[in-house]
Amino acid sequence: MGFLKKLSLFVSAILLFVSCSSDDSQNQVQQKIKVVLNVEDKTGFVKDYSVLKYDIYNQDTGRNLTGNLAKSGVVTLELEVGNYDFKVDNPDIGYALKPNVVVDKAMTLNLDIQLIEPSSTGLVISELFTSGYSAKDEYGQYVELGDQYVVITNNSQSVKYLDGVSYAITEHWNKFPYNTTTKDALSNNQVMAALVYTFPGTGRDYPLAPAEDIVLARSAKDFSDGGKNKLAADLSGVDFEIVMPERDTDNPNAANMIINGTTHADMLGYGTGFSSAFLFKHQGDLKAFLNKNTVVVESMYGSKPAFTISEDLIIDGVETGQVSQVKYKSLLNKVDRGFITVSDTGTREVYRRKVKQIDNQVKVYQDTNNSTEDFTVSVGQSSFPG
Ligand SMILES: [Ca+2]
Ligand SMILES: [Ca+2]
Ligand SMILES: [Ca+2]
Protein backbone atom coordinates (compact mmCIF):
# COMPACT_ATOMS: atom_id res chain seq x y z
CA MET A 1 0.00 0.00 0.00
CA GLY A 2 1.32 3.38 -1.00
CA PHE A 3 1.82 6.13 1.51
CA LEU A 4 -1.04 8.29 0.19
CA LYS A 5 -3.46 5.38 0.31
CA LYS A 6 -2.47 4.64 3.92
CA LEU A 7 -2.90 8.28 4.82
CA SER A 8 -6.27 8.39 3.14
CA LEU A 9 -7.49 5.31 5.05
CA PHE A 10 -6.16 6.75 8.27
CA VAL A 11 -7.96 10.04 7.68
CA SER A 12 -11.18 8.19 6.80
CA ALA A 13 -10.90 6.22 10.02
CA ILE A 14 -10.50 9.40 11.99
CA LEU A 15 -13.47 10.99 10.25
CA LEU A 16 -15.56 7.88 10.84
CA PHE A 17 -14.55 7.83 14.50
CA VAL A 18 -15.25 11.52 14.95
CA SER A 19 -18.62 11.30 13.28
CA CYS A 20 -19.62 8.21 15.31
CA SER A 21 -18.61 9.74 18.61
CA SER A 22 -20.42 12.92 17.67
CA ASP A 23 -23.57 10.89 16.94
CA ASP A 24 -23.18 9.08 20.28
CA SER A 25 -22.92 12.26 22.28
CA GLN A 26 -25.94 13.72 20.53
CA ASN A 27 -27.91 10.60 21.42
CA GLN A 28 -26.75 10.92 25.02
CA VAL A 29 -27.81 14.56 25.20
CA GLN A 30 -31.28 13.63 24.10
CA GLN A 31 -31.52 10.64 26.43
CA LYS A 32 -33.05 11.59 29.79
CA ILE A 33 -32.57 9.47 32.89
CA LYS A 34 -35.12 9.27 35.65
CA VAL A 35 -33.62 10.14 39.03
CA VAL A 36 -35.78 10.05 42.14
CA LEU A 37 -34.44 12.26 44.93
CA ASN A 38 -35.69 11.00 48.27
CA VAL A 39 -34.82 13.41 51.09
CA GLU A 40 -35.37 12.52 54.70
CA ASP A 41 -34.81 14.13 58.10
CA LYS A 42 -34.45 11.15 60.41
CA THR A 43 -35.04 13.30 63.51
CA GLY A 44 -38.61 13.99 62.32
CA PHE A 45 -38.24 17.75 62.78
CA VAL A 46 -38.88 18.62 59.12
CA LYS A 47 -42.55 17.98 58.37
CA ASP A 48 -42.84 19.89 55.09
CA TYR A 49 -39.85 19.42 52.81
CA SER A 50 -40.96 22.09 50.35
CA VAL A 51 -39.00 24.62 52.45
CA LEU A 52 -35.83 22.92 51.17
CA LYS A 53 -34.30 23.79 47.79
CA TYR A 54 -32.42 21.33 45.61
CA ASP A 55 -29.48 22.43 43.50
CA ILE A 56 -28.12 19.83 41.12
CA TYR A 57 -24.88 20.72 39.36
CA ASN A 58 -23.93 18.98 36.13
CA GLN A 59 -20.11 18.82 36.19
CA ASP A 60 -19.96 18.13 32.43
CA THR A 61 -22.06 21.04 31.22
CA GLY A 62 -21.59 23.41 34.18
CA ARG A 63 -25.35 23.86 34.38
CA ASN A 64 -27.51 23.85 37.55
CA LEU A 65 -30.98 22.49 37.98
CA THR A 66 -32.76 24.08 40.93
CA GLY A 67 -36.17 23.95 42.56
CA ASN A 68 -38.06 23.18 45.71
CA LEU A 69 -38.66 19.68 47.02
CA ALA A 70 -42.21 18.37 47.20
CA LYS A 71 -43.84 18.46 50.62
CA SER A 72 -43.12 14.73 51.01
CA GLY A 73 -39.38 15.21 50.40
CA VAL A 74 -39.48 13.28 47.11
CA VAL A 75 -38.87 14.80 43.71
CA THR A 76 -38.52 13.01 40.36
CA LEU A 77 -36.06 14.52 37.91
CA GLU A 78 -35.14 13.87 34.28
CA LEU A 79 -31.38 14.25 33.92
CA GLU A 80 -28.90 13.86 31.10
CA VAL A 81 -26.20 11.22 31.50
CA GLY A 82 -23.33 12.79 33.39
CA ASN A 83 -21.55 13.45 36.65
CA TYR A 84 -23.51 15.45 39.19
CA ASP A 85 -23.23 17.14 42.57
CA PHE A 86 -26.50 17.00 44.53
CA LYS A 87 -27.28 19.58 47.18
CA VAL A 88 -30.42 20.14 49.26
CA ASP A 89 -30.43 23.16 51.52
CA ASN A 90 -32.28 25.64 53.70
CA PRO A 91 -29.80 27.85 55.57
CA ASP A 92 -32.10 28.02 58.62
CA ILE A 93 -33.00 24.34 58.79
CA GLY A 94 -30.40 22.02 57.35
CA TYR A 95 -28.72 20.54 54.31
CA ALA A 96 -27.65 17.34 52.53
CA LEU A 97 -24.82 16.94 50.04
CA LYS A 98 -23.92 14.11 47.67
CA PRO A 99 -21.11 15.04 45.26
CA ASN A 100 -19.76 13.12 42.22
CA VAL A 101 -22.79 10.99 41.44
CA VAL A 102 -22.59 9.18 38.07
CA VAL A 103 -26.01 9.26 36.44
CA ASP A 104 -26.16 6.69 33.64
CA LYS A 105 -29.24 4.65 34.54
CA ALA A 106 -32.53 5.17 36.37
CA MET A 107 -31.85 5.53 40.08
CA THR A 108 -33.16 6.61 43.49
CA LEU A 109 -30.89 8.82 45.57
CA ASN A 110 -31.53 8.84 49.32
CA LEU A 111 -30.29 11.94 51.09
CA ASP A 112 -30.34 12.43 54.88
CA ILE A 113 -30.82 15.97 56.13
CA GLN A 114 -28.23 17.27 58.56
CA LEU A 115 -30.02 19.83 60.74
CA ILE A 116 -28.41 23.19 61.60
CA GLU A 117 -27.70 23.42 65.34
CA PRO A 118 -30.43 25.48 67.01
CA SER A 119 -29.04 28.83 68.14
CA SER A 120 -30.31 31.64 70.37
CA THR A 121 -27.56 34.17 69.73
CA GLY A 122 -29.09 37.34 68.33
CA LEU A 123 -32.18 37.38 70.55
CA VAL A 124 -32.54 40.77 72.24
CA ILE A 125 -34.74 42.38 74.84
CA SER A 126 -36.47 45.02 72.70
CA GLU A 127 -39.02 46.34 75.20
CA LEU A 128 -39.34 45.95 78.97
CA PHE A 129 -42.06 47.23 81.22
CA THR A 130 -41.78 46.90 85.00
CA SER A 131 -43.13 50.16 86.43
CA GLY A 132 -46.85 49.73 85.95
CA TYR A 133 -49.64 51.61 87.59
CA SER A 134 -52.89 50.79 89.39
CA ALA A 135 -53.25 47.22 88.27
CA LYS A 136 -53.99 44.79 91.05
CA ASP A 137 -51.70 41.78 91.18
CA GLU A 138 -52.65 38.36 92.49
CA TYR A 139 -51.44 39.22 95.98
CA GLY A 140 -53.28 42.51 96.27
CA GLN A 141 -50.16 44.27 97.52
CA TYR A 142 -47.84 45.34 94.70
CA VAL A 143 -50.73 46.94 92.91
CA GLU A 144 -48.54 48.85 90.44
CA LEU A 145 -46.68 45.84 89.11
CA GLY A 146 -49.30 43.52 87.68
CA ASP A 147 -49.01 44.23 83.97
CA GLN A 148 -45.27 43.74 83.59
CA TYR A 149 -44.07 42.32 80.29
CA VAL A 150 -40.96 41.90 78.16
CA VAL A 151 -40.69 41.74 74.38
CA ILE A 152 -37.94 39.54 72.98
CA THR A 153 -36.97 39.91 69.31
CA ASN A 154 -34.86 37.92 66.91
CA ASN A 155 -32.48 40.66 65.81
CA SER A 156 -30.47 38.39 63.48
CA GLN A 157 -30.75 37.29 59.86
CA SER A 158 -31.52 33.63 60.58
CA VAL A 159 -34.03 31.60 62.59
CA LYS A 160 -33.36 31.51 66.34
CA TYR A 161 -34.94 29.35 69.00
CA LEU A 162 -36.45 30.26 72.37
CA ASP A 163 -36.33 26.68 73.64
CA GLY A 164 -34.33 26.54 76.85
CA VAL A 165 -33.60 30.29 76.91
CA SER A 166 -34.08 31.83 80.35
CA TYR A 167 -35.21 35.30 81.36
CA ALA A 168 -33.58 36.39 84.61
CA ILE A 169 -32.98 39.45 86.75
CA THR A 170 -29.88 40.11 88.80
CA GLU A 171 -29.75 39.23 92.47
CA HIS A 172 -27.81 42.44 93.06
CA TRP A 173 -29.68 45.77 93.21
CA ASN A 174 -27.63 48.42 91.42
CA LYS A 175 -28.45 51.12 93.97
CA PHE A 176 -26.64 49.17 96.72
CA PRO A 177 -22.95 48.28 97.22
CA TYR A 178 -21.89 44.73 96.37
CA ASN A 179 -21.93 41.98 98.95
CA THR A 180 -19.10 39.42 98.92
CA THR A 181 -21.04 36.91 96.81
CA THR A 182 -21.77 39.41 94.07
CA LYS A 183 -18.28 40.87 94.19
CA ASP A 184 -16.75 37.39 93.75
CA ALA A 185 -19.16 36.54 90.94
CA LEU A 186 -18.44 39.74 88.99
CA SER A 187 -14.68 39.32 89.34
CA ASN A 188 -15.12 35.80 87.86
CA ASN A 189 -17.07 37.18 84.88
CA GLN A 190 -20.33 35.92 86.37
CA VAL A 191 -23.68 37.45 87.26
CA MET A 192 -25.95 36.35 90.12
CA ALA A 193 -29.52 35.68 88.92
CA ALA A 194 -32.37 36.19 91.39
CA LEU A 195 -35.11 34.64 89.33
CA VAL A 196 -35.02 32.38 86.33
CA TYR A 197 -37.97 31.73 84.03
CA THR A 198 -37.19 29.36 81.20
CA PHE A 199 -38.94 28.99 77.86
CA PRO A 200 -40.28 25.47 77.39
CA GLY A 201 -39.45 23.28 74.39
CA THR A 202 -36.93 20.60 73.55
CA GLY A 203 -34.78 22.44 71.03
CA ARG A 204 -36.82 23.50 68.01
CA ASP A 205 -40.36 23.98 69.32
CA TYR A 206 -40.29 27.79 69.46
CA PRO A 207 -38.54 29.18 66.37
CA LEU A 208 -38.40 32.93 65.78
CA ALA A 209 -37.95 34.21 62.23
CA PRO A 210 -35.69 37.23 61.66
CA ALA A 211 -37.34 40.35 63.19
CA GLU A 212 -40.10 38.27 64.77
CA ASP A 213 -40.84 39.02 68.40
CA ILE A 214 -42.66 37.36 71.28
CA VAL A 215 -44.12 38.76 74.49
CA LEU A 216 -43.64 37.26 77.93
CA ALA A 217 -45.94 38.68 80.61
CA ARG A 218 -46.13 38.20 84.28
CA SER A 219 -49.75 37.16 83.67
CA ALA A 220 -51.56 36.84 80.34
CA LYS A 221 -54.69 38.75 81.28
CA ASP A 222 -56.54 41.95 80.61
CA PHE A 223 -55.39 44.30 83.36
CA SER A 224 -57.35 47.15 81.76
CA ASP A 225 -60.53 45.33 82.71
CA GLY A 226 -62.08 45.61 79.27
CA GLY A 227 -60.66 49.09 78.72
CA LYS A 228 -62.16 50.58 81.90
CA ASN A 229 -58.73 51.04 83.48
CA LYS A 230 -56.93 52.99 80.77
CA LEU A 231 -53.67 53.13 82.72
CA ALA A 232 -53.22 49.37 82.69
CA ALA A 233 -52.41 47.10 79.77
CA ASP A 234 -54.43 44.37 78.15
CA LEU A 235 -51.97 41.47 78.13
CA SER A 236 -54.51 38.74 77.37
CA GLY A 237 -52.91 37.98 73.99
CA VAL A 238 -49.25 37.55 74.97
CA ASP A 239 -47.34 34.41 73.93
CA PHE A 240 -45.91 33.32 77.28
CA GLU A 241 -46.74 33.88 80.95
CA ILE A 242 -45.51 32.89 84.36
CA VAL A 243 -47.96 30.84 86.40
CA MET A 244 -47.19 30.44 90.08
CA PRO A 245 -48.26 27.21 91.82
CA GLU A 246 -50.73 29.15 93.99
CA ARG A 247 -52.90 32.26 93.73
CA ASP A 248 -52.28 32.95 90.08
CA THR A 249 -54.24 32.92 86.84
CA ASP A 250 -53.47 30.58 83.93
CA ASN A 251 -54.53 31.69 80.45
CA PRO A 252 -54.81 28.55 78.30
CA ASN A 253 -53.80 30.53 75.19
CA ALA A 254 -50.45 31.60 76.63
CA ALA A 255 -47.71 28.99 77.09
CA ASN A 256 -46.34 28.76 80.62
CA MET A 257 -42.71 29.40 81.44
CA ILE A 258 -40.75 26.87 83.49
CA ILE A 259 -40.13 28.42 86.89
CA ASN A 260 -36.54 27.70 87.90
CA GLY A 261 -36.30 30.25 90.67
CA THR A 262 -38.29 33.22 91.92
CA THR A 263 -38.09 35.86 94.54
CA HIS A 264 -41.58 35.56 96.02
CA ALA A 265 -43.88 36.39 93.09
CA ASP A 266 -44.12 36.02 89.33
CA MET A 267 -42.48 39.38 88.68
CA LEU A 268 -40.25 40.30 85.76
CA GLY A 269 -38.45 42.97 87.76
CA TYR A 270 -38.91 45.48 90.54
CA GLY A 271 -40.82 48.64 89.60
CA THR A 272 -37.82 50.88 89.04
CA GLY A 273 -35.76 48.11 87.51
CA PHE A 274 -32.87 48.19 89.98
CA SER A 275 -32.42 44.46 89.27
CA SER A 276 -31.31 44.26 85.66
CA ALA A 277 -32.84 41.86 83.16
CA PHE A 278 -30.92 39.43 80.99
CA LEU A 279 -31.37 36.39 78.77
CA PHE A 280 -29.12 33.35 78.98
CA LYS A 281 -28.92 29.83 77.70
CA HIS A 282 -27.07 26.84 79.06
CA GLN A 283 -26.59 23.97 76.57
CA GLY A 284 -27.60 20.74 78.27
CA ASP A 285 -29.44 19.95 81.49
CA LEU A 286 -30.45 23.33 82.90
CA LYS A 287 -31.82 22.03 86.22
CA ALA A 288 -28.55 20.21 86.96
CA PHE A 289 -26.58 23.29 85.94
CA LEU A 290 -28.64 25.57 88.20
CA ASN A 291 -28.44 23.12 91.12
CA LYS A 292 -24.68 23.08 90.79
CA ASN A 293 -24.54 26.89 90.68
CA THR A 294 -26.99 27.73 93.46
CA VAL A 295 -26.13 30.09 96.28
CA VAL A 296 -28.72 30.48 99.06
CA VAL A 297 -29.15 34.13 100.00
CA GLU A 298 -31.21 35.83 102.68
CA SER A 299 -33.82 38.37 101.65
CA MET A 300 -36.73 40.24 103.13
CA TYR A 301 -38.90 37.31 101.95
CA GLY A 302 -36.73 34.69 103.65
CA SER A 303 -33.93 32.59 102.21
CA LYS A 304 -34.07 31.94 98.48
CA PRO A 305 -31.82 30.55 95.80
CA ALA A 306 -29.68 32.71 93.54
CA PHE A 307 -27.75 31.33 90.59
CA THR A 308 -24.27 32.02 89.31
CA ILE A 309 -24.43 32.57 85.54
CA SER A 310 -21.21 33.02 83.61
CA GLU A 311 -20.94 35.81 81.08
CA ASP A 312 -20.47 33.52 78.08
CA LEU A 313 -23.97 32.08 78.59
CA ILE A 314 -25.62 35.51 78.46
CA ILE A 315 -27.36 36.31 75.18
CA ASP A 316 -28.46 39.87 75.95
CA GLY A 317 -28.98 42.12 78.94
CA VAL A 318 -30.07 45.62 79.88
CA GLU A 319 -28.90 47.49 82.98
CA THR A 320 -32.11 49.15 84.16
CA GLY A 321 -32.59 51.33 87.20
CA GLN A 322 -33.90 54.50 88.78
CA VAL A 323 -32.76 58.00 87.77
CA SER A 324 -29.55 58.95 89.66
CA GLN A 325 -29.68 55.72 91.68
CA VAL A 326 -27.50 53.44 89.55
CA LYS A 327 -24.32 53.37 91.67
CA TYR A 328 -23.01 49.81 91.32
CA LYS A 329 -23.75 48.13 88.01
CA SER A 330 -25.25 44.67 88.27
CA LEU A 331 -24.36 43.46 84.77
CA LEU A 332 -20.87 43.01 83.41
CA ASN A 333 -19.67 45.68 80.98
CA LYS A 334 -19.38 43.10 78.23
CA VAL A 335 -23.16 42.51 78.48
CA ASP A 336 -24.09 46.19 78.95
CA ARG A 337 -21.53 48.93 79.56
CA GLY A 338 -24.21 51.59 80.07
CA PHE A 339 -27.56 51.83 81.83
CA ILE A 340 -31.04 53.25 81.30
CA THR A 341 -33.32 54.60 83.99
CA VAL A 342 -36.94 55.40 84.81
CA SER A 343 -37.98 58.06 87.31
CA ASP A 344 -40.12 55.97 89.66
CA THR A 345 -42.56 53.11 90.08
CA GLY A 346 -46.10 53.64 88.87
CA THR A 347 -44.98 56.04 86.14
CA ARG A 348 -45.77 53.70 83.21
CA GLU A 349 -42.31 54.38 81.79
CA VAL A 350 -41.19 51.71 79.33
CA TYR A 351 -37.63 50.76 78.35
CA ARG A 352 -37.63 50.59 74.54
CA ARG A 353 -34.73 49.63 72.30
CA LYS A 354 -34.00 52.01 69.44
CA VAL A 355 -34.52 50.88 65.86
CA LYS A 356 -31.18 51.15 64.04
CA GLN A 357 -32.46 50.75 60.51
CA ILE A 358 -35.27 49.33 58.43
CA ASP A 359 -34.07 46.76 55.86
CA ASN A 360 -36.73 45.85 53.29
CA GLN A 361 -39.45 46.96 55.72
CA VAL A 362 -37.89 44.79 58.45
CA LYS A 363 -36.76 46.62 61.57
CA VAL A 364 -33.30 45.99 62.97
CA TYR A 365 -32.68 47.08 66.57
CA GLN A 366 -29.57 48.85 67.76
CA ASP A 367 -27.47 46.57 69.96
CA THR A 368 -24.05 47.98 70.84
CA ASN A 369 -24.24 46.46 74.35
CA ASN A 370 -24.57 49.99 75.72
CA SER A 371 -28.13 50.61 76.90
CA THR A 372 -27.41 54.33 77.45
CA GLU A 373 -27.18 54.57 73.66
CA ASP A 374 -29.38 51.66 72.62
CA PHE A 375 -32.53 52.37 74.68
CA THR A 376 -35.02 55.15 75.23
CA VAL A 377 -37.65 55.52 77.93
CA SER A 378 -41.16 56.52 76.95
CA VAL A 379 -44.42 56.67 78.86
CA GLY A 380 -47.25 54.30 78.07
CA GLN A 381 -47.00 50.54 78.05
CA SER A 382 -48.06 48.49 75.04
CA SER A 383 -51.17 46.33 74.99
CA PHE A 384 -51.28 42.84 73.53
CA PRO A 385 -54.99 42.01 73.35
CA GLY A 386 -56.15 38.46 72.75
CA1 LIG B 1 -48.84 35.07 86.54
CA1 LIG C 1 -51.04 29.64 80.42
CA1 LIG D 1 -26.85 43.09 73.62
pLDDT digit string (tens) for 103-151? 999 999 999 999 998 899 999 999 999 987 654 545 555 555 789 999 9
Ligand number nearest to the C-alpha of 235: 1
Same domain, 147 and 92: no
pLDDT at 30 (0 to 100): 59
Asked whether the beta carbons of 221 and 235 are under 8 A apart, the reply is yes
Same domain, 141 and 229: yes
Domain ends where: 96, 115, 134? Answer: 115
Ligand number nearest to the C-alpha of 334: 3
Alpha carbon of 239 to ligand 1 centroid (Å): 13
**Could you tell me if residue 20 is inside a domain?**
no
Ligand number nearest to the C-alpha of 259: 1
Ligand number nearest to the C-alpha of 266: 1
The pLDDT tens digits of the residues spanning 26-66 come to 544 558 999 999 999 999 999 999 999 999 999 999 999 99
Give the phi and the psi of residue 171 in degrees, each rounded to 5. -65, -35
Domain ends where: 98, 115, 132? Answer: 115
Alpha carbon of 140 to ligand 1 centroid (Å): 13
Alpha carbon of 254 to ligand 3 centroid (Å): 26
What's the predicted TM-score (pTM) here? 0.84
Residue 230: pLDDT band (50, 70, 90) is confident
- State how far the Cα of 188 lies from the Cα of 191, in Å rounded to an integer: 9
DSSP code of residue 313 = G
Same domain, 128 and 109: no
Which domain covers residue 299, as residue numbers? 123-379
pLDDT at 133 (0 to 100): 64
Ligand number nearest to the C-alpha of 268: 1
**Could you tell me if residue 275 is inside a domain?**
yes
Which H or E run includes 3?
helix 3-30
Q: What is the mean pLDDT of the chain?
A: 89
What residues does the ion ligand 2 have nearby, CB within 5 Å? 250-251, 254, 256
Give the phi and the psi of residue 267 in degrees, each rounded to 5. -75, 160
pLDDT at 140 (0 to 100): 55
**Could you tell me if residue 21 is inside a domain?**
no
Q: How many domains does the chain have?
A: 2
Alpha carbon of 220 to ligand 2 centroid (Å): 7
Alpha carbon of 105 to ligand 1 centroid (Å): 63
Alpha carbon of 153 to ligand 2 centroid (Å): 21
**Could you tell me if residue 3 is inside a domain?**
no
Same domain, 262 and 288: yes
The pLDDT tens digits of the residues spanning 256-307 come to 999 998 767 888 998 889 999 999 999 999 999 999 999 988 777 678 889 9
**Could you tell me if residue 4 is inside a domain?**
no
**Could you tell me if residue 313 is inside a domain?**
yes
Same domain, 332 and 186: yes
pLDDT at 136 (0 to 100): 53
C-alpha 240: how far from its chain's center?
15
Residue 169: pLDDT band (50, 70, 90) is very high
What residues does the ion ligand 3 have nearby, CB within 5 Å? 316, 367, 369
Count how many residues are written for the chain. 386
Domain ends where: 60, 82, 115? Answer: 115
**Could you tell me if residue 362 is inside a domain?**
yes
List for the chain the helix, strand, coil content (%; round to 5).
Answer: 15, 40, 45
Closest to 120 in 3D by CA, of 311, 355, 280: 280
The pLDDT tens digits of the residues spanning 186-222 come to 999 999 999 999 999 999 999 999 999 999 999 999 9
Pairing of strands 207-208, 160-161: antiparallel
Residue 314 vs residue 131, higher pLDDT: 314
Asked whether the beta carbons of 285 and 328 are under 8 A apart, the reply is no
- State how far the Cα of 368 lies from the Cα of 200, in Å rounded to an integer: 29
Alpha carbon of 90 to ligand 3 centroid (Å): 27
Alpha carbon of 247 to ligand 1 centroid (Å): 9
The pLDDT tens digits of the residues spanning 236-250 come to 999 999 999 988 999
Asked whether the beta carbons of 386 and 134 are under 8 A apart, the reply is no
In the 3-class helix/strand/coil scheme, how is 42-102 assigned residue by residue? CCCCCCCHHHCEEEEEECCCCCEEEEECCCCCEEEEEEECEEEEEEEEECCCEEEEEEEEE
Same domain, 300 and 251: yes
Closest to 349 in 3D by CA, of 320, 369, 328, 324: 320
